[in-house]
Amino acid sequence: QVQLVESGGGLVQAGGSLRLSCAVSGRTFSNYGMGWFRQEPGKEREFVAAISRSGSRTTYADSVKGRFTISRDSAKNTLYLQMNSLQPEDTAVYYCAAKETIRVYTATNEYDYWGQGTQVTVSS
């Protein structure tokens, strides 16, 4: 089993920044491709960013490209999402997810493990 715990969410004004963290335990972190997703009330969970298990490959949703950066620190078993130039439409619960794979996936149904989520609220 893999346990994922997100942190770093909060309330920020438009144009501001936040950094989300996802602490991973239970298995070898470097075996897992990781992703960030988000979900607004009443809407489906959507892809935000993903990173390969080596960290050499990343991919982003068009809506966050150029503003968000996904990264990972194997020494700390932690996944990050640096979010800059935040806008009200970025308001959502953000989830990290893991899958034991060498590939990078963007679909929610590809991931096997999920965190409990952290709320990000951007005020205008």
How confident is the model over 77-118, as pLDDT tens digits? 999 999 999 999 999 999 999 999 999 999 999 999 999 999
Question: Over 80-124, what HEC string results?
Answer: EEEECCCCHHHCEEEEEEEEECCCCCCCHHHCCEECCCEEEEEEC
What is the pLDDT, as a whole number, of residue 120?
Answer: 98
How much is the average pLDDT of 36-43?
Answer: 96
Distance of alpha carbon 42 from alpha carbon 51, whole angstroms: 27
**Closest by alpha carbon to 21, among 32, 36, 11?**
36
Q: Where are the alpha helices (DSSP H) in the chain?
A: none
- Pair of tokens at residue 11: 């309330």
What is the pLDDT, as a whole number, of residue 119?
Answer: 98
